[in-house]
Structure 1
């Protein structure tokens, strides 16, 4: 009798999400974007202090995203197996170590190492949040995560607002090293919240689980995945015919990875399931191209406003504030509205319009034109990330939510690597207006491709995406 009443209880009588989880979920997920946005206004001061041109300081961006691209799906898979608590604590602790290394770094090489550590350290936040959301849905019987997914998106956008501004302020007060030191208190806060609020994993079957650990982890698959992605991204960082061997390694390792995963009993990435999940593959493709545009603007436009237009780092951060404020508004307004296709189409149109306006900018353009470009970019910034995030939550295999979320970030960071390479190639020794225009053409091409991928995707509006729309 009791069981029957529980099964037929109205939705409103079921327990809701444990609100204590929201703070660690949000803080963990923003560790990566805050380091992404702060560095955007620190590249020029770091280059001047260490005597490094833009083509070399670009490695500070590439190093973080190389590490994160590799680490997100691996850590996500570990979270799927062990639960979020352990991986969250280890990763966020590493963020604090990276903050110390970066603060004390004597040169660019050690700074790059610090950014690599930050990349691995920030890997767990987003997959852990998605895994917690899935486990709470199973515990409560409510799988309507629209509000929490929107909160995650808004928190990331809020940090993106604060990041460039805070970066400029920290540089003005304590120099560029203060942008690395900030990670120490953030890591301490994240670890404490994780210890106090994240649920401990169940101890049942612990010995048998350890006995099957090697099989469940698919270490050979992870190793081949790492070899494939690392060689590919190293080539994308600075594409040149002399580095052809990197592409050969990527193809060979990729073929071996595919063969391994198709034979493995418990694969790291189930290619058979992923290959049959057309909506999820389309979402990953859109993530790659939209983040080419997004990160090229974040880093390239910021460098040009400082070096080509003559703004201070603090004022360069202020120029980006309208973008992130409008992005927050777009996320909040659209967060609980049904439909994904409309958000993606509007986001694509916003990217194209902003890129066209960038081509009209010069070193003598009025400041309001820079603010207008940033404002227009705010629309796709808010809509695209939310739509992609919601899509993956509903399109992915529930048992692989964390690793699928990590793989979304991997595709996004591959896009960021393309953007970083395009930025370094366009600017060379100096971020001048000609280089900015060259970069804008690359961004425009990616924006048009994003629009075509959305227009031609027949899976939008039905299947997994339709299910996501109904839930939100």
Structure 2
């Protein structure tokens, strides 16, 4: 791969890691934030859920904008918004202000993955699996490093450092993108051409589903379920009749391979983020570990994700996405069941080894699903497809925060952890079933350079 191509990939990678990294870095700081702002776990979970909500809406929105207005413009705008939020969040006078700045951060970082992926697919025509493997490490595996980095920052400072540590990544990505990204072609797109009613319906539906799932901690709310289902059906019927829809339901209905990948990615992220947020809180509340030791334990997931990703890339180049994905989904079920071995006062070694299995699963799943997706998507559809892919991630993370609020809302115990483990094991089995239905490996291998 040429030096210029590697630098371009680096520019995209440094930008795209900001969203997943900031998603999970704060997990180790939740206990500290509860103390500072006098909150319960259910209260502080809104800091997570609002970030997910805005990211779920922002990813396809910014993907659409990058296709209409230009990928370089949208990428640079995203970096500027992250700069603004990272500067102001440490100065938050109240929890409400902190949520507001996190919303700006989520919107800005949502622009980076779809516009960056569109740039890579248009500029790099060979060795795309390798390029996607690098981006996968930064856009997906970086989330696994969040708790470890957050624990280190809290050991030497306070939660404000979690926002300030974004600046080296922002500056490096900005300078490389400014120099290496080609100038956007002249476009005729306008903001008025956006399907704003579709955006509003999608936002309302996602928000109501979030309210419904978060309310499960206190009991089943029939009216919230009815409103959520009604808004989802209204969105589906409305988008069917649009010539330029925000959510292309016709495309999803006709291309069931893409739809299955999105569903599978939702299930993957319910399991992954339940573990990424649940385990740090459990280790500090039940096992009595400090943030630094918690971060070191969580490094097991990040480390094995990184080690496995290059191996998964070579495996995909040789045989396609299906076989690595079957390995990854199987390991989700196995690793989740191994969490049942964790008891009160468990040894750090036992917890570390169990999480290693889940780290290997994460390394396989992220890259294999990403490469499988682009098999069925043209270059022209990369922006919106990438945005919807990340929306699937954040729908999964929204559901994971709801699961954790239901299990850990008032207090955290080992039996609650085991309930989460059983839930994640069932999700792993469902993911494996979807993988079995996927077309064979040769199809995936041939499609990467489309």
Question: TM-score, normalised to structure 1's length?
Answer: 0.88
Q: Distance in 1 between matches of 2:210 and 2:440?
A: 30
Q: Distance in 2 between matches of 1:282 and 1:419?
A: 19
- Unaligned 5+ segments in structure 1 are 1-11
Q: Which of the residues 65, 81, 94 maps onto 2:81?
A: 94
Q: Distance in 1 between matches of 2:438 and 2:53?
A: 32
Task: Look up the match of 1:352.
Answer: 333
- After superposition, where does 1:195-344 map in structure 2 within 5 Å? 195-203=178-186, 206=187, 209-210=188-189, 214-215=192-193, 217-239=194-216, 243-337=221-315, 338-344=319-325
Task: Look up the match of 1:459.
Answer: 439
Q: Distance in 2 between matches of 1:86 and 1:221?
A: 23
Q: Distance in 1 between matches of 2:205 and 2:167?
A: 32
**C-alpha distance 48-434 of structure 1, shift in aligned 2 (>3 A):** farther
Quote the offset at 1:159 in angstroms: 3.3
- After superposition, where does 1:153-232 map in structure 2 within 5 Å? 153-156=136-139, 159-160=142-143, 162-203=145-186, 206=187, 209-210=188-189, 214-215=192-193, 217-232=194-209
Q: Does residue 148 of the first structure (1) align with residue 126 of the second (2)?
A: no
Quote the offset at 1:466 in angstroms: 5.0
Moved more, 279-288 or 240-249: 240-249
Q: Does residue 22 of the first structure (1) align with residue 9 of the second (2)?
A: yes
Report if the CA contact (8 A) 1:150-1:335 is conserved: yes
**C-alpha distance 471-81 of structure 1, shift in aligned 2 (>3 A):** closer
Q: Does residue 423 of the first structure (1) align with residue 404 of the second (2)?
A: yes
- After superposition, where does 1:69-108 map in structure 2 within 5 Å? 69-108=56-95
Report if the CA contact (8 A) 1:164-1:314 is conserved: no
Report if the CA contact (8 A) 2:144-2:276 is conserved: no
Quote the offset at 1:143 in angstroms: 4.8
Q: Secondary structure at the match of 1:429?
A: coil
Q: Which of the residues 12, 31, 43 maps onto 2:30?
A: 43
- After superposition, where does 1:128-143 map in structure 2 within 5 Å? 128-137=115-124, 142-143=125-126
**C-alpha distance 354-388 of structure 1, shift in aligned 2 (>3 A):** same
Quote the offset at 1:213 in angstroms: 5.2
Q: Distance in 2 between matches of 1:255 and 1:263?
A: 13
